[in-house]
Amino acid sequence: MTTTRGSRPIATALMLAAAFATVIGDTAFAEGRPAKELFGGMALPAKAAPSPYGSYAKGCIAGAVAIPTDGPTWQAMRLSRNRRWGHPQMIALLERFSRDAVQLGWGSGILIGDISQPRGGPMLSGHASHQIGLDADIWFTPKPASPLSPQQREDMPFTSMLQKNKFLTVDRRLWTNTHAQVVVQAASYPQVERIFVNPAIKKKLCDTWTGDRSVLGKIRPIYGHDAHFHIRMRCPEGATGCKPQAAVPPGDGCDKSLAWWFTKEPWAAPKKDPNAKPAPKPRAMQVSDLPKACAMVLDARGPSSELEATYQASGGFMPTTASAFVAPAATADQPFEIPAVVPVPAARPAGW
């Protein structure tokens, strides 16, 4: 068993190398350009069998597919970011979830935020994770009955579920039982390992959810996540390069790990030691910091078009206006605006 496991990643890496038939060494990433610039500049995925490499916050993906910009029960938002790419199982899950959400009364479907870049990897702006095609953000706003135009998808503001000027409190005028049902539905799929929501939303679920509480433990409190929630899938079966996360602790999570968020500790400014030397500027992640396969993923040939790598299973489509829409890409100097409703705490709680 151990031998089989040990040899598989090597075999996979060799297969990748053969499939890509490219020479690594003198390409752009040897020059020390940050990995986020290289992965952020990729327009299309690596054409290969779907394989996530590494972990959610340090990895990449080969063989990602795009969710169509439009579907019977979903629309993808912020198309200019080109982050509609994920593992095919992630895309299939999102399409199924979009249908289930409509059944629960969630408008005419879901609005999908960022999934991953075409080859995953670190991003120029916005996320630490979302690197291996197994994370997706869903807006806390249902898809309206009439489709949003590409421009509206760029401009539509996020709606926080929190009360303004009040510490970690869900706004009762905005939050409904359907919101709760939709989040619990997302957590209910066996392939979903974690859902991230704002601590105030987790508390609301703990206080008010009267149904089956067996999946509440998958719903994890974290800062932000008040205008969208985040779906994280576990590593797919057979994805030997995918580094799994620790299992969530048993129980519904409505315990002291949640109470911690309502103390001052996570929100306090970090304590400064007057004698400490100034911390060195953190070095940008390099391709060499990622799993070895990621250099090959970056260098691999892509499909001939976006359409060729678009998932086609549930009647999704790309209106010509959407696919023709090209907005300026984000750069390191002009990052996309990230909603910051609450301050970022100093530390993360256990089990994040």
Give the residues lining the site for Zn ion (CB under 5 A): 137, 230
Closest to Zn ion by CB, 48 vs 94, is 94
Nearest distance from C-beta of residue 140 to Zn ion, angstroms: 13
CB 110 to Zn ion: min, Å: 14
Nearer to Zn ion, 20 or 120 (CB): 120
Nearest residue (CB) to Zn ion, 153 versus 230? 230
CB of 130 to Zn ion, least distance (A): 6
Q: Which of 213, 223, 225 is nearest to 254 (CA)?
A: 213
Nearer to Zn ion, 251 or 335 (CB): 335
For residues 70 and 316, is the Cβ–Cβ distance under 8 A?
Answer: yes
* Cβ–Cβ under 8 Å, residues 35 and 128: no
Q: Is-contact 75 318, C-beta < 8 A? A: no
| Cβ at position 58, least distance to Zn ion in Å | 15
Q: What is the DSSP code string of 159-192?
A: --SBPTTSTT-B-TTT--HHHHHHHHHHHHSTTE
Tokens linked to 279: 């911390």
Least distance to Zn ion, CB of residue 83, Å: 10
| DSSP output for 186-245 | HHHSTTEEEEEE-HHHHHHHHHH--S--TTGGGEEE-SS-SSEEEEEEPPPTT-TTB-PP
Q: Which is nearer to Zn ion, 83 or 143 (CB)?
A: 83
CB closest to Zn ion, residue no = 230
**Helix 177-188 and helix 199-208, axial crossing angle in degrees, nearest 10:** 100
User: Between helices 177-188 and 88-103, what is the axis angle to 10°?
Assistant: 150
The end-to-end CA distance of the chain, in Å, is 30
Q: Which is nearer to Zn ion, 56 or 209 (CB)?
A: 56
CB of 145 to Zn ion, least distance (A): 26
